[in-house]
Homo-oligomer: A and B are copies of this chain.
Amino acid sequence: MFIEKIKSEGLSQLSYLVGGGGKAIVIDPRRDCEIYVEKASQLGCRITHIFETHRNEDLVSGAPILSGLTGAKVYHGPNAAAKVQYADTVAEGDSFSTGEVRVDVLETPGHTDDSVSYVLYDQSFGNDAVAVCTGDALFVGDVGRTDFYPERAEEVAGLLFDSLQKLLGLNDHVHVLPAHGAGSVCGDNMANRDFSSVGYERVHNRMLQITDRDEFIAAKLSEHHYQPPYFRLMEQLNLEGGKPVARTLVPPPLDADEFQELSQRSVLVDVRNIAAWLGAHVPGSLALPVGMITSFAGWLLKPESGITLIAENDTQAEESARHLARIGFDEVYGYLALPMSGWAANDRPFESVPAISVESIASRVNEQPENWQLLDVRSQSEVESGMIPGSKHLYVGHVPAELEALSKDKHYTVMCASGARATVAASVLLNNGFKNVDVFMGSMGAWQSAGHSVA
C-alpha cells in the first residue's frame, strides 16, 4: 500500500493517490489530472475510485475529467441543497475496498455541509486505520474555515468542533492527510510541514487544544477570512463539473504588434518578478508574479476576462497558464516574447515605479509630508499584530473594489510584509488613474528588522 501526495504549488492544494495490489484511488484530484493516471500506471495500478472530501471553492475540481479518463466513479459527501452532478453521494459508514486499500467514510461537516473524511486501512492488517484524508476539516497545525455560511456561523463552527472530535477518536498513529498545506487561502495558521498524525495534532494543533465547544465556536467566530469573488464561480463549476480543458496550456509567444492588438481586448498580466515590474513594465499591466497567481488572480481578474501575459520566457508563460487554468481562467491569448529592453527598442512605452527603502520610509513617517499616505495592504490578521504609525489599511484583495476609499490626489507608498503584495496593489492603483504611487521595498520585514516600532 502506498500514499503519493500530489501538491499543487501556489494553491498549496494537496491531493492523494493511494493504492496497492494493482488498484488505486484518488482523493481530491486537481484539474490537470493526467498526473494521477501516469503515476498510477508507473506504480502498476488502475484507478478505480475518485473521492472528494468537499466541494472546493478555491480551485476547479478535476474529478469529472479524471472520471472520463479512467472510467472510475466519483464519490462526494452528502448535501441535499446542492448535489454534485458528476458524483455519487457517500454517507457515514460507507466503505469501499479496492486492491490493498479499504476506505471508510466519516462525515465531518463544518467547513462545508458536504465535508467528509476518508479513513484508510491496509487490508492485509485488518481494522486499524493507517491514515485519514481530512479535507478542509483538519490541517497540520490548524482547522478549517467556517465562514462560508455567515447566517449559520455558530452552527457550522459547532459542527466542525464535533467533526474534529470524531477525527480525534482515531488512534494517535493515524497519518493526517489534509487537502491544503501552508500558503493556502483556506487557512492562516497551517504549519509549514506537509505530514502529521492524529497524535501529533492532538497535542500541537492550536485549535485542538480548545476542548470546550462554546469556546471553540467563539474562537472560530473571531477569525477573519477573505473570500475572493471567484469562489462563487468555483462552487458553481464544482457543482456542475468544470469544463474540460479544450486547448493546450502553452500560450503562444507574441511580437510587439500582436501584443498591442491583444492588449485592446484583454487584461495584461505581468507574471515576472516584482523587481522587474518596478524596473520597467508595460503601462496598464497588472503585476502578478507567477507564484502569486493562485492567491490573487481570483481577486483581480474577472472570470470572463481574456488574459495576455508578459513573461520571462515560454516556461514561465506555461506555468502561469497552468496556474490560471486550475482556478478557472482558460482564456490566455499568449505572452509578450520580448524583454522590456526589446519592447522599448520597438519604441513602445514603458513605466517604472520607485522602490523605496526603509530609511526613506522612516524619514517620511517622521516628517509626514503633506498629501503622503502609507498604505498597508496586508490581511486583517497581520495588521492586528501591529502597523506602522500613520499607515492606512486596505487589504490587497479589496483594493479593486474599494478604490473610492482612496484619493487620486494623494501620493501613496504601498507596503505589505515584504513588498510583493504591495507591488500587486500598486499596479492596481496605477491602472485605475492613480498617478503618484511607489512601493516600500522590504515593508514590515525591513521596518522591524531595522528596529522601528509599530503601533
Contacts and interface: CB of A to CB of B under 8 A. Distances in A.
A340 B337 CA distance: 24
Given A44-B314, A418-B341, A199 B175 contact: no
Contacts of A420: 339, 341
Given A41-B250, A193-B122, A345 B273 contact: no
Contacts of A247: 68-69
Interface in A315-350: 315, 317-318, 334, 337, 339-347, 349-350
A103 B290 CA distance: 35
Contacts of A350: 355, 357, 441-442
A350 B446 CA distance: 11
A382 interface: no
A45 B251 CA distance: 10
A339 B41 contact: no
A149 interface: no
Contacts of A275: 272, 275-277, 279-281, 339-341
Contacts of A211: none
Interface stretch (A87-95, A161-169, A252-260): A252-260
A340 B274 CA distance: 8
Chain B CB count within 10 A is highest, among A70, A192, A199, A273, for: A273
Interface residues of A, number: 101
Interface in A22-71: 22, 34, 37-38, 40-42, 44-47, 68-70
A38 B1 contact: no
A317 B41 CA distance: 10
B195 A347 contact: no
Interface string A431-444: 00000000001111
Contacts of A38: 250
Contacts of A41: 250-253, 314, 317-318
B204 A125 contact: yes
A20 B192 contact: yes
A240 interface: no
A264 interface: no
Nearest to A194: B2
A167 to B, nearest CB: 13
B194 A128 contact: no
B280 A445 contact: no
Nearest to A448: B347
A164 to B, nearest CB: 16
A337 B291 CA distance: 14
A258 to B, nearest CB: 8
Interface in A287-314: 312, 314
Given A253-B45, A345-B445, A340 B273 contact: yes
A360 to B, nearest CB: 12
Given A46-B252, A254-B46, A334-B46, A341 B442 contact: yes
Interface centre among A277, A340, A357 (most CB of B within 10 A): A340
A358 interface: yes
17 contacts: A1-B191, A41-B314, A42-B314, A47-B252, A125-B204, A126-B204, A130-B200, A171-B172, A171-B199, A173-B199, A175-B197, A280-B441, A340-B419, A344-B358, A346-B446, A350-B355, A350-B442
User: Considering the complex of A and B, which 4 residue pairs feature the smallest CB-CB distances, nearest first?
Assistant: A345-B445, A173-B199, A279-B279, A344-B442
